[in-house]
């Protein structure tokens, strides 16, 4: 028996990194997974796994989200994972960077929750898990100005949803990783002027001396999606190898 048997779980950013590992972990625990992303070719790789159906979805498009909601009858767990890291202080952050980041990292969650929450309220139960980061209101982080601002907003959004709908059977938590070894992190390292130095810097902030694997973060998603965490809502769960100690 799986810990998520029969649960319908919708998640974004499933084509790679933490989202992909999470989709696979959910399916392994018996969930019916609706895995979405904008990257068609990578997303389709998930089609071969039992329990996973894939669907193209740009989480910044209200129209696409509403269309998906019309096609799905029931969602037990909604995981908002899509996000983007802008590198730089406020002085390197232009209006376009600010708007792009806030749109993808925060407004997308507003749109997804606003669209799928009525279904959860109708079924008198629902579980929302948002992706935040330790680089947020938890820890001041260099060169992550708009990113940290957006991830702090995710914590605020999470607590607000949790407080407003606790009596309606809805819970909402967020996950705050430190540095996780994913394709986009590797790309940030490789495209930096000094890749070796960049890798060393990323490792230096992880007190355990290594990055998290996407699978380790996925296990926290499994726990929050399962009934084992039924008494938890409004929390920001830190999984950061001691970075914020
Ligand atoms: P990633 O950056 O490797 O992949 C992101 C995925 O999001 C890609 O598959 C991409 O196609 C998809 N995506 C991008 N724009 C989209 C859109 N408009 N609609 C739908 N999908 C879209 O992923 P990752 O590094 O695993 O990060 C996933 C989440 O975890 C992000 O929110 C990120 O901020 C957060 N996070 C990552 C780390 C880390 O170190 N990797 C640490 C803390 C938090």
Whether 231 is a known active-site residue: answer no
Cα 187 to Cα 127: distance, rounded to the nearest angstrom: 32
| Beta carbon of 82 within 6 Å of any ligand 1 atom | yes
| Beta carbon of 179 within 6 Å of any ligand 1 atom | yes
User: For residue 32, what pLDDT is reported?
Assistant: 98
| Beta carbon of 14 within 6 Å of any ligand 1 atom | no
User: For residue 112, what pLDDT is reported?
Assistant: 99
DSSP assignment string, 172-199 = EEEEEES-EE-HHHHHHHHTSSSHHHHH
User: For residue 206, what pLDDT is reported?
Assistant: 87
Pocket test residue of 82, 101, 240 for ligand 1, highest count of atoms within 8 A of CB: 82
User: For residue 48, what pLDDT is reported?
Assistant: 97
Written as tens digits, the pLDDT of the chain (245 aa) is: 899 999 999 999 999 999 999 999 999 999 999 999 999 999 999 999 999 999 999 999 999 999 999 999 999 999 999 999 999 999 999 999 999 999 999 999 999 999 999 999 999 999 999 999 999 999 999 999 999 999 999 999 999 999 999 999 999 999 999 999 999 999 999 999 999 999 998 998 888 999 999 999 999 999 999 999 999 999 999 999 999 99
User: For residue 207, what pLDDT is reported?
Assistant: 86
User: For residue 1, what pLDDT is reported?
Assistant: 86
Active-site choice (110, 147, 194, 223) = 147
Cα 170 to Cα 164: distance, rounded to the nearest angstrom: 9
| Beta carbon of 211 within 6 Å of any ligand 1 atom | no
**Residue 153, token pair as written in the block:** 């907003």
CA of residue 167 to ligand 1 center, whole Å: 31
User: For residue 15, what pLDDT is reported?
Assistant: 98
Tell me the β-bridge partners of 129: 79, 173
Pocket test residue of 10, 12, 13 for ligand 1, highest count of atoms within 8 A of CB: 13
What is the value of pTM for the model shown? 0.98
Cα 235 to Cα 215: distance, rounded to the nearest angstrom: 21
User: For residue 197, what pLDDT is reported?
Assistant: 93
């Amino acid at each position: 028996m799986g810990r998520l048997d029969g649960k319908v779980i919708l998640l974004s950013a499933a084509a790679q990194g933490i989202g992909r590992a999470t989709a696979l972990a959910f399916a392994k625990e018996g969930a019916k997974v609706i895995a979405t992303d904008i990257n068609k070719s990578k997303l389709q790789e998930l089609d071969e796994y039992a329990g996973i159906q894939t669907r193209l979805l740009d989480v910044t498009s209200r129209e696409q989200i509403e269309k998906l909601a019309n096609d799905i009858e029931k969602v037990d767990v909604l995981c908002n994972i899509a996000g983007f890291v802008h590198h730089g202080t406020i002085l390197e952050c232009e209006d376009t960077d600010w708007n792009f980041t806030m749109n993808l990292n925060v407004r997308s969650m507003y749109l997804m929750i606003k669209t799928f929450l009525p279904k959860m309220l109708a079924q008198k139960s629902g579980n929302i898990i948002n992706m935040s980061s330790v680089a947020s209101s938890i820890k001041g982080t260099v060169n992550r100005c708009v990113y940290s601002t957006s991830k702090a907003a995710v914590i605020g959004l999470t607590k607000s949803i949790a407080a407003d709908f606790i009596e309606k059977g809805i819970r909402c938590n967020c996950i705050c990783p430190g540095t996780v070894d994913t394709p986009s992190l590797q790309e940030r390292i490789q495209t930096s002027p000094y890749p070796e130095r960049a890798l060393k810097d990323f490792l230096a902030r992880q007190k355990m001396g290594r990055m998290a694997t996407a699978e380790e973060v996925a296990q926290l998603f499994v726990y929050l999606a399962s009934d084992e965490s039924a008494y938890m809502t409004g929390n920001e769960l830190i999984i950061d190898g001691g970075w914020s100690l």
